Structure 1
Amino acid sequence: MTNIRPYLWATPFALATALAASPVAAQEATVDDTATEDLGNVIVVTAQKRAENIQDVPISIAAVSGETMETANILTVMDLGRVATNFQTVRSSNTGSTRIGIRGVGSLANTLIEPSVAVFMDGVYVPRSGAILGAFLDIDGVEVLRGPQGTLFGRNASVGALSIRSALPRNEFSGEVSAEAGSFDRYKLSGHINVPLGENVSARVAAMGQWYEGPWKNVFDGKTYGGSDDVAVRGTVKAEFGNVEWIVRGDFTRLDGDGVVNFDFDPASVTPARLAFLQAAFSGGPDTNLNDRVMNQSVASGLVDKNWGVSSTASLDIAGGSTLRLINSYRKWTNDQLDGDIVFLPVPLATRRSLFDSGSQNHELQFISPEREWLGGHFDMVAGVYYFEEKFALGEQLNMDTQYCNVLVPAGPGRAACAAYYASTGGIAATDQDVYQKVRSIAAYAQGNVYISDALTLTLGGRWTNDRKRGSYSQVSSPFTQTIRAPEMLTYPGLSESRFTYRVSLNYKPADDVMLFATHSTGYKSGGYNSGGGVPSLSTFDPQGNLISTRRVFDRETVKNYDFGVKSSWLDRALTANLTLYRMDIAGFQDRAFDGVSFVVRNAGNLRQQGFELDLVLAPSDRFSVSGSLAYLDSKFTDFANASGLPGIGGTQDLTGKPNSFSPAWSGSLAADWNGDIGSSGLSWAANANVAFVSDQYVGTVNDANPQSIADGYAVLGARLALSGRDDRWSLAIFARNLTNTHYRPLAVYQPLGAALGLNNGAFPGSTANRIQANEPRTYGISGTIRF
């Protein structure tokens, strides 16, 4: 890769030069299917707290409309990376451990670590990414903001932000109802209705029900897994009285299923002899075919995930054209999942019950000046004050199953004592972990545009944030599970830290349809303490019980980012081409190290993520369009001397110069949309084909540069064909996802208790048994919609 890197960098620089040298006359913009909102035939986004043309915003943005998500079969946030390049999502066996990443950086949600990508729903911050796993319901559009957004979006947008916007009520009686049937007994019924409640008041109610059996066939018990029965509802009321606009929303989502994800055993990660041992000792052993829908393991599962919230957004237009906006909200997320068998073998050994409980409130007062009207048209600004509070509780219980003592406790008196303990307790809550954290954050921010001339604009912004945290940690463990979870009790006295983040951007428009920009922005995530169990205990106490030292605490993470980009339109705006070159330097990177049994968050060192993002749309007519994106990512730790050692060796290693996990060098997508009329019948048709691709990458949950966790690159193809009636009153569609049934590796995890099972150092020194998460297989379906 080193030899071709100069050419990779030369290509986007040459394109940027060509774009800047090719001014385009101002024309009426064509409708863009990737618009999050279509006003005046331009893509309108709210990345800077006001509605703006995306081509005038000096930020690398992937904007996806609700219509585009439907066309590309984007059902949940887990699918969004197929249309938003350099955006990644992955989840493990526990739904609460969802990771959302931008530019190769993200954080798993099942710890107290702050997310690297801030998620906003209708302008309200959602602190836990596991809370947005439900199906997208009545979504108007999504904006993926790449790069730190610390000035306007806060401390938890250190590498980017995801902004989701639901549809607003219309002052008319209208609505639609859709029914859908798909692979693996998936059935979905959804719809919305708009109702005018008065001359200036309207309401919109949207609802969805989905029933899904799941794709995974388990040889062990003959059952099917991966299914869920889901329900979601949202109600919105919008009122306009003079210079006041008030929007009130309430929503509820419930996921009720098994939560199972198929993790197959990689036979290449152990010797044939050790694989034969597993097969002989554990009822034929785990499933080793990585390319089928079969699993073979003991399963005890169940998931109930509830997420609800209420919000109020009141906007007051004041004298001079400015706006005051007050946003208040409360959100509640609970997740209760039984996850097992956690050793993934066809023998009942141990199960895990995970509990998440997050209650948060957001309050933000914004001031938005009129655009380009102050100081004789040379200045405008946005400013605000912000308050956030979250009470977050995590629980984990490990339960001994019927064969725990026989397999994991040596023969003799210890095994007999273990059997007696199991007989008296049923093995329930053999370990019991309870973690609590309260966070309070206050901030004040301002960002202004100084229009030096008609073509040159200087943007300056800053945000002061103060975070306070406190909490507690408790881990209780039976005498027979202390090799998995060590007992520990700790009160976290908390932290109080302040940080200033800022943004400086210079924008130059040599022509109406070309903008060049250079931006320097910063972001940060506050420090905290570990929520995971450790063996031995992460804290050391003296004989009197006084704390001597602890490895539970980690420090903050800071980001410095540099963007150089061009946004342009060609050929009377039939072609849109946006290119951003970036470099993110992350200091004090908060990494999850693995000690063979549990995970520990610590400050790893420094990480550099750099590359480019290219987004293109060609729409020669309203009948045909092609959109594509391409991202290159050069990921490298510039300082990581104490990384986790390979699992079969242990200790530490120096990973300086190695890439971060989930950081593919290349990723991108390509989509084509074509539509037309069927004679004079009033009928019309629309066809879409889309492909998303990603190159080789590390997909392990630990940064240890283990070659076993390198996943080959892949491409996934989707398609949709729709027939619509006169005035679009009804439509029928057939669709497919992963049309070629491509097999790839979304995630790799180490075999739990690999050392105890003698699975280390089999393939090579430092190797261990690997579990590979199965990807979604080919799915297809049919849907029908009636609009009124």
Structure 2
Amino acid sequence: MKARKLTPVAAAISMAAGSISPAFANTFALEEVVVTATKRAENIQDVPISVSAFSGNFLENSGMEDLRDLGAIAPNLTITQSSQSVNQRISIRGVGTVGNNAMDPSVAVYVDGAYIARPGAVLGNLKDIEVAEVLRGPQGTLFGRNASMGALNIRTRTPEMDVDSLKVDAGMGDYGAFDTTLVGNKALTGNLVARVVASYAEHDGYGENRYDGSDTVGSRQSESLKAAFLFEPSHTVSALLRLDYQELAGTGSVIEVLPESANGSNLLTLDGLGNLLHGQSAAPDVSGLDHEIYQVHEDKLSDRQWGATLDITWDDAFAGHSVRAVTSYRDWQNDTSEFSVFRLPLDDLRRITAFYSDAFSQEVQLISPQGEKFDYVAGLYYFREDYDIDQGTDLGADFCPLVSLGLGPALGSVCAAGAQTNATFGEFSQQAQSMAGFFQGTYHISDTFSLTAGVRYSEDDKDGSFEVTSNNLVASAALAWLESHPDLRFVDEQVTWLANAKYYLADDIMLYATYSTGYKSGGFNSVAVPRDPATGAGLTAEQRLFDSEEVESYELGVKSTLLEGRMTANATLYRTDVENFQDRSLSDLTFITTNAGELRQQGLELDVRYTPVEALMVSLGYAYLDSEFLAYRSASPLPGQPGTQDLAGSPNRYSPEHQVNLASQWTQALGNTGMDWFVRGEVVWQDDSDVGATTNSNPQTLQDAYAVANLRIGLMSQDARWSVNAFVENVDDEAYCVGMYEQPNGGMFGTVDAVNGTTLIRCVQGDPRTIGIRGTYYFD
């Protein structure tokens, strides 16, 4: 069975037709989803890899507003944030990379064919999306930057020729939530068309701070403007220029004390600190996960980025071949301030971090004619990024008195005599280049059987420098020891490859088997560390380096279209082995990246979509994940315990054994009114999972299984003019943690029980129940 021929740009234009149609349109047959996972536009049912794809209509139906929401609908995809908003972790099959350091991501993100180098730069909205693809498994052949566990491939809608239209979308809800989006499409000339998307969103935050009476903990505001220009001078040549600008501001995540981790002893200690320093109770609120905190919380986020992507396609350039060139540039800057780092009702320590990324990429693809006995995709890729992280620490009024309490009045006096502002300052700089050449070809032995092989050669070259300066000796000993490493260097080259067999058991049932490899480049530790008690120094230049991570993956899968197109049922069995697994270990306030041995992630993914009757749509995703470290002898210990531990046989973090995603929508005519009514329900269930920031199998950071249910009901006109709906998200007001971490400097504050290996745990809380309304109107 062969897919119809569509070049990537032509496919985007084909799918965009009707993209200004209402989000809740419903047909009896399932919506066809076209993906570009193989650099060609193909029906998802013809692509022999484990991929989940969601059309823009599906995302709008579900009320998806942010990239993090994708983790609620795609099996084996998790997107979370930690104490810093920029600290975004994107995981596939239980493996991901935290975004606020110099590590390359385990899951690469592409927007309109352009690689986004920093996970923190993916913060933002999901407005005017054509399709969002979740590609599981190592992407070691066709995608620009090798990613060890998978990729998110997001395509925004393409301008439509000969169409003048305007879409207005707005919503509001509790917690001061409000957002609005304008989407305009305008034909400028006979062969030039423009599309503009302008968005604004804000909410007051879900948290309340009982310490100072603030009710804006977690507040956020965003503004974005996107413009796309499609120029088609002929029927074979097209140039698509996309420009975007975005600003974000916020006050950080809601971070509570995990109630079950608090006991009389550590609460008494914290209370004593408060009484000694302020004459008031310092005991945090431990009545439950209720989005109420009792601490200094003056976190601030300021995020700005802009980018440009030029996508030029020449169809039938020679002998039926197409040539495509994708050029992109992105400038991202994020300033994050954390007051207090210890999360106490004390003016203790302030951390101010500035991230800056300046990235350029160029990819050229040669795409052979489709429908031949042998077809292929070949290309060259170049990527360059300058990345800087500047981090300073200011000492609050209570920091030196804390030193006096913990280490003695003499050191407290020395601390007070030193600089309090910019007590320590770390500067990290990295210049990275990556070059690659790739080829992937498919030989169609018959109409039902084909073999695919691909290979990629990649070369990574990184130069870096790291320096810490100090204006306070006591602060340096406790927080960031003096270091100067001006000439860091990392070089690696890798050959990755893929072999795949695809067989059509029947016209609409396809079996496939794949062996593939991938890797994630090594690099540099980008953070300051305290003085090592054993050596009296910080990290050496060698300790600042970590090696590349290498991946082998095996997949067996089936894709089927059943019941005359009313059902698709896809399943994949997989095993992924990760060598030189890059992991971070926590020491007080600092994470250090090392190569941690070998990890195996294996399991089953199931994706079913069904329309049993014309009015009803059902979508089911299920993931089973068996996670195990095959070797990890130097893992971080439990709190307060010495040395390291062997975690062989233990699961990785963020690796729940079972996940279920269920969505269902009923759409029906409302008598003879010219309107339809609809009701949509969604349930996301996740099994027990370790969501701790440190890989140490701490039972305290195990998040129990939980379910989140959403409900949406509304009306829409049958002439595709308007729609309005009301929604409730997290109907049961389920309380859960998207991340946990051990109390910073718990040893100094007396929260650590070294005998039992426990401490006070901080919880980054998930969103509470929210309600709201949304409306859309289309002009033409």
Gap change, CA 1:540 and 1:293, over 3 Å in 2: closer
Pair 1:173 & 2:160 matched: no
SS state at 1:338 partner: strand
SS state at 2:319 partner: helix
The equivalent residue for 1:488 is 483
The equivalent residue for 1:785 is 776
The one-letter amino acid paired with 1:449 is T
The equivalent residue for 2:112 is 122
Please tell me whether the aligned partners of residues 253 and 764 of structure 2 are also in contact (alpha carbons under 8 angstroms): yes
SS state at 1:371 partner: coil
With structure 1 as the length reference, what TM-score do the two structures score?
0.91
SS state at 2:375 partner: strand
Gap change, CA 1:50 and 1:202, over 3 Å in 2: same
CA distance in 1, matches of 2:591, 2:438: 36
Please tell me whether the aligned partners of residues 180 and 781 of structure 1 are also in contact (alpha carbons under 8 angstroms): yes
Pair 1:460 & 2:458 matched: no
Pair 1:379 & 2:377 matched: no
Structure 1 residue 549, shift from structure 2 partner: 6.1
| Larger displacement relative to structure 2 (380-389 or 316-325) | 316-325
CA distance in 2, matches of 1:396, 1:778: 36
SS state at 1:727 partner: coil
The equivalent residue for 1:699 is 691
The equivalent residue for 2:16 is none
The one-letter amino acid paired with 2:42 is E
Pair 1:588 & 2:585 matched: no
Q: 2:620 aligns with which of 628, 641, 645?
A: 628
Please tell me whether the aligned partners of residues 33 and 54 of structure 2 are also in contact (alpha carbons under 8 angstroms): no
Gap change, CA 1:674 and 1:56, over 3 Å in 2: same
Q: 1:665 aligns with which of 657, 662, 670?
A: 657
Q: Could you list the runs of 4 or more consecutive aligned residues of structure 1 that deviate by over 6 angstroms after TM superposition?
A: 538-542
CA distance in 2, matches of 1:389, 1:266: 42
Cα RMSD over matched residues?
Answer: 2.2
Q: 2:433 aligns with which of 435, 440, 447?
A: 440
The equivalent residue for 1:161 is 151
Structure 1 residue 137, shift from structure 2 partner: 2.3
Q: 1:196 aligns with which of 187, 200, 216?
A: 187
The equivalent residue for 1:27 is none
CA distance in 1, matches of 2:638, 2:54: 40
The equivalent residue for 1:137 is 127
The equivalent residue for 1:214 is 205
Pair 1:688 & 2:680 matched: yes
Q: 2:241 aligns with which of 241, 248, 265?
A: 248
Please tell me whether the aligned partners of residues 34 and 63 of structure 1 are also in contact (alpha carbons under 8 angstroms): no
CA distance in 1, matches of 2:542, 2:319: 56
The equivalent residue for 2:528 is 533
Identical positions, percent: 38
Please tell me whether the aligned partners of residues 34 and 65 of structure 1 are also in contact (alpha carbons under 8 angstroms): no
CA distance in 2, matches of 1:266, 1:496: 43
Please tell me whether the aligned partners of residues 579 and 614 of structure 1 are also in contact (alpha carbons under 8 angstroms): yes
Please tell me whether the aligned partners of residues 540 and 550 of structure 1 are also in contact (alpha carbons under 8 angstroms): no
Gaps of 5+ in 2: 1-20, 275-280
CA distance in 2, matches of 1:142, 1:39: 21
The equivalent residue for 2:397 is 402
Structure 1 residue 276, shift from structure 2 partner: 2.4
Q: Deviations over 1:293-339 (max 9, x none)?
A: 21110122221101110110000011332210011110011000111
CA distance in 2, matches of 1:165, 1:39: 23
Gap change, CA 1:557 and 1:403, over 3 Å in 2: same
Please tell me whether the aligned partners of residues 33 and 55 of structure 2 are also in contact (alpha carbons under 8 angstroms): no
Gaps of 5+ in 1: 1-30
Please tell me whether the aligned partners of residues 185 and 194 of structure 2 are also in contact (alpha carbons under 8 angstroms): yes
Equivalent runs, 1:92-491 vs 2, <5 Å: 92-171=82-161, 172-224=163-215, 225-242=217-234, 243-258=236-251, 260-282=252-274, 283-317=281-315, 318-373=317-372, 378-409=373-404, 410-421=407-418, 425=419, 427-477=420-470, 478-481=472-475, 482-491=477-486
Please tell me whether the aligned partners of residues 24 and 61 of structure 2 are also in contact (alpha carbons under 8 angstroms): no
CA distance in 1, matches of 2:487, 2:519: 21
The equivalent residue for 1:520 is 515
CA distance in 2, matches of 1:295, 1:264: 6
CA distance in 1, matches of 2:444, 2:730: 48
SS state at 1:407 partner: helix
Structure 1 residue 647, shift from structure 2 partner: 1.9
Structure 1 residue 540, shift from structure 2 partner: 8.0
CA distance in 2, matches of 1:541, 1:401: 26
The one-letter amino acid paired with 2:729 is R
Structure 1 residue 491, shift from structure 2 partner: 2.1
The one-letter amino acid paired with 1:84 is A
SS state at 1:414 partner: helix
Please tell me whether the aligned partners of residues 115 and 145 of structure 2 are also in contact (alpha carbons under 8 angstroms): no
Please tell me whether the aligned partners of residues 30 and 567 of structure 2 are also in contact (alpha carbons under 8 angstroms): no
| Larger displacement relative to structure 2 (293-302 or 702-711) | 293-302
* Number of corresponding residues: 743
Pair 1:719 & 2:677 matched: no
